[in-house]
Amino acid sequence: MSLRLQVNLIITTLLGVFASLLIGLQIDNTRRSVREEVLGANVVAIQLLSRVNYVYGYSGMEGMTEFLSRVGRIRANAIELYDDQGKLIYRSPPPTYKAGREAPAWYSGIVSPPLEPKEISLPNGRIVLRADPSLATLDGWDDLRRMLWMVLAGFVLGNALVYALVGRAMRPLHRVVQGLRSMAQGAYDTRLSELSGREGRLISQAFNGMAQSVQDSALARRQAQEATQALAENRELTQIIQARIEQERGAIARELHDEMGQQVTAIKSVGLAIARRAAGQDASIEQSARLVMDCADQLYDGVHRLISRLRPLALDRFGLRDALQDLLDDWRVRHPDVALHHSINGPIEGLNDDLSTAVYRIVQEAVNNALRHARASRIDVHLETLAGWLQLDVVDNGTGQPEQFLAPGRFGVLGMRERAQALGGSFDLDQIEPAGVRVRVSLPMTPQHREEPIESHAGRRPRGSTHGLQAPAAGV
pLDDT along the chain (476 residues), means of 10: 76 85 84 75 69 64 75 74 83 77 81 78 78 78 85 85 80 79 83 77 84 87 85 75 73 73 80 82 82 83 72 72 86 88 86 85 87 86 89 88 66 82 87 87 67 34 36 32
Could you tell me which of 123, 133, 127, 136 has the C-alpha nearest to residue 48? 127
CB of 382 closer than 8 Å to CB of 340: no
**378-386 and 339-345 as β-strands: parallel, antiparallel, unpaired?**
parallel
Cα 276 to its chain centre, rounded Å, is 87
Q: What local confidence, expressed as pLDDT, does residue 82 receive?
A: 83
pTM: 0.44
Residues 204 and 175: their CA atoms lie apart, in Å, by 10
Provide the strand spans (E) within 56-154. Answer: 77-83, 88-91, 118-122, 125-131
Could you tell me which of 80, 92, 76 has the C-alpha nearest to residue 43? 76
Q: What local confidence, expressed as pLDDT, does residue 55 receive?
A: 63
Residues 374 and 405: their CA atoms lie apart, in Å, by 10
Residues 155 and 445: their CA atoms lie apart, in Å, by 81
Q: What local confidence, expressed as pLDDT, does residue 222 receive?
A: 86
For the purposes of burial, counting CB atoms within 10 Å of the CB of 146, is it exposed (0-12), middle (13-18) or buried (19 or more)? exposed
CB of 416 closer than 8 Å to CB of 367: no
Taking the alpha carbons at both ends of the chain, their separation in whole angstroms is: 106
**Please, what is the Cα angle at 202 between 201 and 205, to 5 degrees?**
85
361: left (phi over 0), alpha (psi -120 to 50) or beta: alpha
Q: What local confidence, expressed as pLDDT, does residue 441 receive?
A: 93
Give the H/E segment covering residue 430: strand 426-431
Residues 306 and 300: their CA atoms lie apart, in Å, by 10
Residues 16 and 158: their CA atoms lie apart, in Å, by 11
Cα 254 to its chain centre, rounded Å, is 57
Alpha-carbon distance values, 117 to 70, 75, 112 (Å): 22, 15, 14
CB of 207 closer than 8 Å to CB of 192: yes
Give the H/E segment covering residue 164: helix 134-169
Q: What local confidence, expressed as pLDDT, does residue 381 receive?
A: 93
